[in-house]
Amino acid sequence: MFISLPLSKGFPGEYMIDETDRKIIHVLQKDGRASLRKISEEVGVALGTVSNRVNRMEGSGIITGYSVRLDPEKVGWSLNVVIGLRIEKGRLIEIQEKISRDYRVCGVYDVTGDYDSMVIARAKDREDLDDLIKNVMSVDGIERSLTQLVLNTVKETITVAPE
């Protein structure tokens, strides 16, 4: 299966992801610091091929960056919460932008269903969670909220592999 994406940043045409690209992406998702040589060895293609493909995927916006993954609990974020928000009509984006500025907020999403927006956030402890909820609820234009504390995380990732 191919994924056709328009290229940008100096790459004319479209970039088609193939099996080699998928393998390169898989290696990078396991280890974003993997050298091009290591990727070349694991995928079984020439070093130049890996370099060209990574550059093209970066230039096309398929690969958007590299980051460090932390264990939230080991760095003091022991509580994970999901907050559903009902927001006053016409103020969705304004309110979402205000909420997203809180350093404890990991994600803000437009959603369908009973709520207009879902917020994923981390808190250090019960007092920090109380402060977070009060800060979110103090934003003018929020009509209703539902806060749910995550008891157990079965799977959590921000990476998805292309098919």
Whether 7 has a pLDDT exceeding 70, the answer reads: no
Is 162 domain-assigned? no
pLDDT digits (tens, 9 = 90+) for 145-160: 999 999 999 988 877 7
Whether 4 has a pLDDT exceeding 80, the answer reads: no
Mean of pLDDT values over 35-43 = 97
Q: Which residue has the higher pLDDT, 158 or 35?
A: 35
Is 158 domain-assigned? no
Q: Which residue has the higher pLDDT, 68 or 149?
A: 149
Structural domain boundaries enclosing 87: 72-149
Mean of pLDDT values over 53-68 = 91
Domain of 43: which CATH number?
1.10.10.10
Is 108 domain-assigned? yes
pLDDT of residue 69: 84
Q: Is the pTM of this model over 0.85?
A: no
Q: How many CA atoms does the CB half-sphere of 112 hold within 13 Å? A: 0
pLDDT digits (tens, 9 = 90+) for 110-138: 999 999 999 999 999 999 999 999 988 88
Q: Cα–chain-centroid distance for residue 41?
A: 28
**105 and 53 belong to one structural domain:** no
Residue 122, exposed/middle/buried by CB under 10 A (0-12, 13-18, 19+)? Answer: buried
Is 156 domain-assigned? no
Whether 14 has a pLDDT exceeding 80, the answer reads: no
**119 and 81 belong to one structural domain:** yes
Whether 64 has a pLDDT exceeding 70, the answer reads: yes
**44 and 94 belong to one structural domain:** no
Average model confidence (pLDDT) across the chain: 89
Contact 121/79 with Cβ under 8 angstroms?
A: no
3-state secondary structure of 78: coil
Going by pLDDT thresholds of 50, 70 and 90, the confidence category of residue 68 is confident
Mean of pLDDT values over 77-94 = 96
Tokens of 71: 């264990």
pLDDT of residue 67: 85
Domain of 85: which CATH number?
3.30.70.920
Residue that terminates a domain, selected from 60, 92, 109 = 60
- CA-to-CA distance for 3 and 14, rounded, in angstroms? 10
Question: What is the number of domains present in the chain?
Answer: 2
pLDDT of residue 8: 40
